[in-house]
Amino acid sequence: MSLQDKMRERARELLESGAVNMVIGWEKGTFWYLSPPAFITTPEEADRLVWDEFCLNNLSKYLLDYRNTDDKIALFVKGCDSRNVVRLLQDNQFPRERLYLLGIKCPGLKDSRAASLLGEEKRAELPLAPKCVGCTHPEPVIYDELLEAGVSGDLGSPEKRFEDVEKIEAMSYDERYAFWVNAYARCIRCYACRNVCPACDCRECIFDRTQTGWCGKQMGLTQNMFFAITRALHVAGRCTECGECERVCPQRLPIMTLNRKIIKELNALFGPYEAGVSLEAKPPVVEYRPDDPDFEERR
Amino acid sequence: MYKLATEKLPELLQCWSQGATVYVPQKVGEVTLFRPFKGQGDLALGEGNTLEPPKDLFFPRTEKLYDYWASGKEARLEPVELHPDRAVLVGVRSCDARSFLLLDQVFLTRGYVDEFYKKRRENTAVVALACTQAAPTCFCTSFGIDPGRAEGVDVQMWPVPGGYLLEALTPRGEEMLKQASGLLAPAEGEKIPAPAQPSLQVELEGLVEKLQKMFDHPYWGELSRKCLGCAICTYLCPTCHCFDIDCETIETSGYRFRCWDTCLFAHYTLMAGGRNPRPTRKERLRNRLLHKLQYFVERYGQFACVGCGRCLELCPVNVDITKVIRDVKEVSL
Ligand code: SF4
Ligand code: SF4
Ligand code: SF4
Ligand code: SF4
C-alpha cells in the first residue's frame, strides 16, 4: 500500500472512530507542483489527501488556530514539522491529549518553484527543495504512529547547513551591510514569513501593534530592517529550520541565512542545541544555568 | 507602425530618459521588478510579468501628505509639492494596463479626485508590451483583456523576431516615437504577432448575483482555514488599493503619510476600544474576494481582478481565485 493510501485509510479510521474530529494533511492544488494544506472533517473527504514531493507546507502552525477549541486533531508531520510540534508543546500552546501525530519518514521534498519553470516532463529531475538542503532530522522526533514514505529520495546533507552563513561571514562589514540592505530594501512587509512560522506563536505580534511607535506602518528601509532583525531574534532558540519563511517569501529574501547565523552563534555561546528535538531540553535563551559559559565569562 | 532592432532597445530607453525616469522590468536578485533604467542593468522584457505590479508608480507604498510643526500654541502645516517628475513606464502587460483604468475609477471618479495619484498618473507615459505567451497562471482574457493589445496606453509594443514593433496610440505616444525617430525604421511588411492564449479561464456569468446571496455561506469559513492572513495577495495585486493614514512625529515636528494597508491584516478593521468587526481570517479573506468579485462590480460595473495570476502564483497555501470562482458557481445556497 502506498503512503498516500495509508494516509487516507488512517485519516478515515481516525475520523470514523471519533478519535479525532479533524485531520490536517495535504491535497492536490491548482497545478501538479502544488500540494497545499487540507482540512478533513468527514471520513468521506479522506480521499482528498495526497502525498507527493510537494507536500512542503509545515502544518503545525495551524494548531495555533485551534488552541482554544475542543477539537481533537490528527496532524501529519515530516521530520521538520514534528520539531515544531515539540516546540509548541514546550510552550504550552497545545495540549498533547488533543493531538494525534501521524509521523512521515520524509524522503526529502522537491522545489516547486523550479518545477513550475521546468515543466512536468522534468518531474524526475527536480532539485531538492531549498528548505530540505541542510536537513538534520528527516524522521519525525515525536509521533503516535510512523508511516514510511516507501521511496527514499535524495536527502539533504546537514554539513551544508551553515554554507550560506559562512559566505556572508567571509565578507567585510561594509559588504555585509550592503548585502542585507539590498535584500531588505525589497521586503514588502507582507509578513508571510512571520505568519507561516510555527515558532511565531505570540498572541499579539509587536508588528501588529502599529500604534505603539515601535515600528510604524511606513514602508521604508528602517522599518524593514527593524522587522528583519526583530523577527529573527524573536525566533532565536525556537527556529527549527523548517525553512517555511524563506520558501514563502515572494521576494526570495535569504531569511534562513539570518536564522542560521543566530543558531550558529547560539551553538558557540551556549553549546550545541537544536530546537524542538527533545521535549526535555530547554531552549538556551529560555533556560537559566549558573554554569552557562556566557555567565562565567561576564563574572 | 515602426520597428526597433533588439540591440537598439537600450538606446531607446536612453532617449526616453531625457527629462524623465524610465521604469522597465529588470532582474533583481531572483525576481523581476520595474526599476529605473540607468543605462545598465539586466533588462527582462522577454519573460512574463513582474513580481510586483507597477501600481506603486501611481500609488506608492508610502507617500508623504504634509509636514507639520507644533510648539506651545503655535502650529504650522506645510503641504508637500505634488510629485513633479516625469516618468515613462515601459513593458507594461495588458493585465496591468487594465489595472490602471480600475485604479483611475477609485482615485479619480465619484466626486473625489486624489491629487497625489492624479499628478503621478498625468506625469507618466505608459508603453505596453504585448504577450505572445501566457504563463499557466494567466487568465486575463476571461475579463475581456487582450494580451496582444493594451487599453489606455500611449505606445503599444509587440515582440517580433529581431526586435519590436511600436505603435503610438495617443498624442503623447506620437511625440515619444518622434523623439526616438532616429532609432526606428518604418515597419513594412511586418506582421503583428498573434496574442497569447491563456489556457486558464473563468466563467463570470451570474457570479455577482450568486455572491450577493453568499455573505453568510459556510464556504468562506472552509476556504479560510488554510489562509495565513499575509499580504501577498493584496500587496502584489495590481488592483488592490487600500491605504492607511498615520503620522510620524519627532519632538515638535513630523509628517503625515499614507501607506499601503490590507484587509487581510487584523488591525485593518480594528476599532478604538478593541472591537473588530472582521475578527477572523474568514471575514477578512471573504472581504478580499467579495471586493474584487462583487462590491467593485456593484460600484463601478467592472471586476477588480485583471487575471494577472500573481495571487495564484504566490499565495503560500494556494488560495486560487479561479477555483473560488468555480466553487462559488457550484455551492448550494
Ligand atoms: S515574506 Fe519576505 S517580503 Fe514578506 S515580510 Fe517576510 S521578508 Fe518581507
Ligand atoms: S490567500 Fe494566500 S496570499 Fe492571501 S492572505 Fe491568505 S495565505 Fe496570504
Ligand atoms: S486578484 Fe489575483 S489575479 Fe486578480 S488582479 Fe489581483 S493578483 Fe491578479
Ligand atoms: S495575464 Fe494576460 S496580459 Fe497579463 S501577463 Fe498574462 S497573458 Fe499577459
CA-proximal residue: ligand 3, atom 8 (nearest): B308
Concatenated DSSP letters for A116-169?
Answer: HHH-GGGGGGPPBPGGGTT-S--S-SS-SEEEE-SS------GGGTTHHHHHHH
Give B46-62 pLDDT, tens digit per residue: 878 999 999 999 999 99
Residue B281 has pLDDT above 90, yes or no: yes
Interface check for A36 against chain B (CB to CB < 8 A): the answer is yes
State if residue B307 touches ligand 4 by the CB under 6 angstroms criterion.
yes
Residue A196 scores a pLDDT above 80: yes
State the ipTM, two decimals: 0.94
Distance (Å, rounded) from C-alpha A56 to C-alpha A3? 16
**Would you say B132 and B194 are in contact if contact means Cβ atoms under 8 Å apart?**
yes
What's the CA gap between A270 and A286, in Å, rounded?
12
Do B234 and B264 form a contact (C-beta atoms < 8 A)? Answer: yes
Nearest CA in chain B to A32: B136
Going by alpha carbons, the residue nearest to atom 8 of ligand 1 is: A187
- Cell numbers of B109, please? 471618479
pLDDT greater than 80 at residue A149: no
CB atoms within 10 A of CB B74: 8
pLDDT recorded at residue A294: 62
Mutate to test the interface with A, among B200, B201, B226 (most CBs of A within 10 A): B226
Quote the radius of gyration of chain B (alpha carbons, Å): 22
pLDDT tens-digit series, residues A90-118: 999 999 999 999 999 998 999 999 999 99
Sign of CA dihedral B163, B168, B172, B176: positive
Which candidate from A30, A38, A65 shows the least CB-CB separation from B323? A30
Question: Average pLDDT, whole number, for chain B?
Answer: 95
Q: In the prediction, which pLDDT does A288 show?
A: 77
β-bridge pairing B163-168 and B2-5: antiparallel
pLDDT at A159 over 90: no
Q: Do A190 and B136 touch (CB under 8 A)?
A: no
Ligand found nearest the CA of B138: 4
For residue range A68-93, what is the model confidence (pLDDT) as tens digits? 999 999 999 999 999 999 999 999 99
Residue whose C-alpha cell is 502650529: B75
Which H or E run includes B281? Answer: helix B281-290
Does the structure show a pLDDT above 70 at B304? yes
B183 contacts B28 by C-beta, under 8 angstroms? no
* Closest CA in chain B for residue A59: B226
Tens-place pLDDT, residues B232-256: 999 999 999 999 999 988 889 999 9
Across chain A, mean pLDDT equals 92
pTM of the predicted model as reported, rounded to 2 decimal places: 0.94
The predicted pLDDT at position B239 comes to: 98
Residue type, B101: L
A250 touches chain B (CB under 8 A): yes
CB A7, CB A76: distance < 8 Å: yes
Partners of residue B71 on adjacent β-strands: B74
**A192 contacts on B by Cβ (under 8 Å):** 228, 230-232, 316
Neighbour tally for A66: CB within 10 Å: 17
pLDDT class of A23 with cuts at 50, 70, 90: very high
End-to-end CA distance of chain A: 61
A16 confidence band (pLDDT: 50, 70, 90): very high
Q: In what order do the strands lie in the sheet with B74-79?
A: B74-79, B62-71, B253-260, B243-250
Amino acid present at B37: F
Most confident of A214-223, A290-299, B84-93: B84-93
Domain boundaries, chain A: 3-158, 161-270
Q: Please, how many CA atoms are within 13 Å of residue A61, restricted to the half-sphere of its CB?
A: 25
Residue of B247, B225, B185 whose CA lies nearest to A71: B225
Which pLDDT belongs to residue A215? 86
Q: Nearest chain A residue to B221 by CA: give it.
A: A39
User: Atom 7 (ligand 3): residue with closest C-alpha?
Assistant: B237
- Interval between CA B305 and ligand 4 midpoint (Å): 12
- Please name the residue whose Cα sits nearest to atom 4 of ligand 4: B95
Residue A124: per-residue pLDDT? 92
Residue A220 in contact with partner chain B when CB distance is under 8 A: yes
pLDDT at A285 over 90: no
Helix (H, G, I), strand (E, B) or coil at B127: strand
Cβ pair A192:B230 closer than 8 A:
yes
Tell me how far apart the alpha carbons of residues B25 and B7 are, in angstroms, rounded to a whole number: 16
Q: Provide the percentage of residues in chain A whose pLDDT is more than 90.
A: 77
The set of protein residues with a Cβ atom below 6 angstroms from ligand 1 is A 187-193, 248-251, 253, 255
Question: How do beta strands B87-92 and B21-28 pair?
Answer: parallel
User: Does position B3 have pLDDT exceeding 60, yes or no?
Assistant: yes
Cα–Cα distance for residue pair A72/A216, rounded to 1 Å: 39
The whole-angstrom distance between B319's CA and the closest CA on chain A is 9
State the cell numbers at A45.
473527504
Task: Give residue A22's Cα distance to chain centre.
Answer: 21
Helix (H, G, I), strand (E, B) or coil at A77: strand
Mean pLDDT of A272-291: 85
Are the Cβ atoms of A188 and B28 closer than 8 angstroms? no
How far is CA B134 from each of CA A43, B41, B195, rounded to the nearest angstrom?
39, 25, 9
**Residue B234 Cβ < 6 Å to ligand 4:** no
Beta strands B155-160 and B124-129 are: parallel
CA distances (Å), origin A129, targets A36, A37, A74, B217: 15, 17, 25, 37
Pair B92, B129: CB distance under 8 Å: yes
Q: Is A16 helix (H, G, I), strand (E, B) or coil?
A: helix
pLDDT for res B272: 87
Which residues span the domain enclosing B296?
2-330
Q: How many CB pairs under 8 A join A and B?
A: 95
A226-251 confidence digits (pLDDT tens): 999 999 999 999 999 999 999 999 99
Q: Which residue has the cell 520524509?
A: A106
Query: Minimal CA–CA distance to B137: which of B330, B305, B331?
Result: B305
List strand residue ranges (DSSP E) for chain A, in order: 22-26, 37-40, 73-77, 99-105, 145-148
- Nearest-angstrom CA–CA distance, A222 and A236: 21
Instruction: Give the Cα separation of A59 and A76 in Å (integer).
Output: 7
Confidence of residue A152 (pLDDT cuts 50, 70, 90): low
Beta bridge partners of B43: B26
Q: Name the strand (E) or helix (H) holding B69.
A: strand B62-71
**Can you tell me the mean pLDDT for B215-239?**
97
SS3 state at A99: strand
Asked if residue A229 lies in contact with residue A209, where contact means CB atoms within 8 angstroms, the answer is no
The pLDDT tens digits for A117-134 are 999 999 999 999 999 998
Tell me the residues of B at the A interface, defined by beta carbons under 8 Å apart. 28-31, 33, 51-52, 61-62, 136, 222, 225-226, 228-232, 235-236, 244, 246, 248, 257, 259-261, 265-267, 312-314, 316-318, 320, 322-323
